[in-house]
Amino acid sequence: MREAPESSSLSPPRATSERETSSAIPIKVVYRPEDAAVNYSEDLGDPGQFPFTRGVQASMYRGRLWTMRQYAGFGTAEETNARFRLLLARGQTGLSVAFDLPTQMGIDSDSPRALGEVGRAGVAIDTVEDMHALLADLPLETVSTSMTINATASTLLAMYIVVAEERGIARSALHGTIQNDLLKEYIARGTYIYPPGPSLDLIAEIFRFCADEMPRWNPISISGYHMREAGATAVQELAFTLANAIEYVKRAIGAGLDINTFAPRLSFFFASHNDLFEEIAKFRAARRMYSRIMRERFGCDESGCRMRFHTQTGGVTLMAQQPLNNVVRVTLQALAATLGGTQSLHTNGYDEALALPTAEAATLALRTQQIIGYESGITSTVDPLAGSYFVESLTDELESRAMALIRKVDDLGGAERAVAAGFFQEEIARSAYEFQLRVEAGETVIVGVNKFADGAEPPMIPSPDYSALEHEQLEKLVIVRQNRDQSRVAETLAALRSAASSQTRAAAAEAGETRTGVDGDGRTYLMPLIIEAVRARASVGEISDILSACWGAYNPAHS
């Protein structure tokens, strides 16, 4: 049994005949009009109109279906490229890249710290030559690419730009998303490198860079998904994601950016779990809350009040026992996401609790989206559940509870300070523990695990030869280092070091405890320097080491 988080005062699970959502919102036996007493123009509005509860576009899926993505990253860039081409040929409409842990942590594949991890959790990318192999023959002018990368997001974005430009494609023509959400890394996921201050400054700079030079690119995907995977409830996912969004917007404004230049390109990333109606209500509440926050707190134009989000079905809901049951779970979760109005969707393979998804499982997951999109009929009208007494009541209740949590974050001084205080982490740990208690007590049923189990061992799926993959990746890195212009690499890294060091000195000179952003006047920006280092074939690890030397490493024990 999972141990209780320290300082929690939890009671054992209670036997009750009451029904609740996964966020412990009580559910009535029947709902009536008085339970959904919404003002249509103020609380709902037509699709495409403020507060966007019913959708960000007037026609939604009648005009165009959501972008269908499958998350993929397999050892080497060449293997991942082959999977991308397979999925595009089978009807996928967007790419989604998973990187291995060394790449995410700014560690080159030949580092002793990378031993045993190269290519395991995703594709290994050390230099722009790997990115060339990853993207070979893919139509970057027309396909949208999402990259799940955070601490090293600036470097991987630079690599994407350099690959495109070396293929004759202007950076202004590229469209896609980098996750680039460090706050949730400190809260729930752990692939951080630098302290929050300089990390948030670099994120604000990426906002500026994309607004100026990559107008079709989303500079961030503010993610509730990983907090949900760590055990957050739907209410916490909603509240904490928006609290983080508020922090990023404040940081960018503090850096001198006009909100209306960057807000229209902010994007979000949510999980979709099994509680069908709560998930649908969560997505509807998210749009309404975000639009009001952006207008009321920041005076944002309507174009920046539209919450556009990607959804992934719940990885933590996949079970190794009776894995074919996951097909049904993923279908329900995909249905919730589409009924909730997502702009982009990844559906998990049924075998992902066992290993990297097979081609068969990935194809079936894609076909799940296609059947919903083309055969189910839910795309015929926008927000088909609007007006449901239950759904509208649940939407209101989720908003009310999430706003109460956001006010707690505000009282702590915002998301950055709430992270330092451990508020998010403790809240999520408590929810995860309580969920585990309910599962072990049989209150929360998981079919094939604590009910209707058959005792069969999970099937075995062959794993790749990771040692061979690691050896292959190291050989490629050696070749790049032998063939590059070493003086040019040293020159570009020195320029980056100088700029990062000057930013550190400027930050240290600021008065008060809180960093308020950076002054754009006379500032040497980092993104152009990172691009030049990448173009010279500097590696992810070399660039990360420069920034670490200037900014230090984040240690949560001393934050």
Q: How far is CA 337 from CA 276, 535, 537, in A?
A: 9, 39, 40
**Residues 21-42: pLDDT tens digits?**
999 999 999 999 999 988 999 9
Peptide bond before residue 51 is cis, with ω within 30 degrees of 0? yes
pLDDT tens digits along 111-166:
999 999 999 989 999 999 999 999 999 999 999 999 999 999 999 999 999 999 99
Compute the distance between CA of residue 416 and CA of residue 439 in angstroms, rounded to an integer. Answer: 33
Residue 444 pLDDT greater than 50, yes or no: yes
* Lowest-pLDDT choice from 7-11, 131-135, 380-384, 544-548: 7-11
Say whether pLDDT at 408 is over 50. Answer: yes
pLDDT band for position 522 (cuts 50, 70, 90): low
Task: With beta carbons less than 8 A apart as the criterion, state whether 474 and 76 touch.
Answer: no
Give the pLDDT confidence of 252-296 residue by residue, as tens digits: 999 999 999 999 999 999 999 999 999 999 999 999 999 999 999
Q: Where residue 558 falls among pLDDT bands split at 50, 70, 90?
A: low
What confidence score (pLDDT) does residue 8 get? 44
What angle (nearest 5°) sits at the alpha carbon of residue 294, between those of residues 292 and 298?
Answer: 125
The angle formed by the CA atoms of residues 47, 53 and 56, to the nearest 5 degrees, is 50
Query: Are the CB atoms for 520 and 255 separated by under 8 Å?
Result: yes
pTM of the model as a whole: 0.92
Per-residue pLDDT of 483-506, as tens digits, reads: 999 999 999 999 999 999 987 656
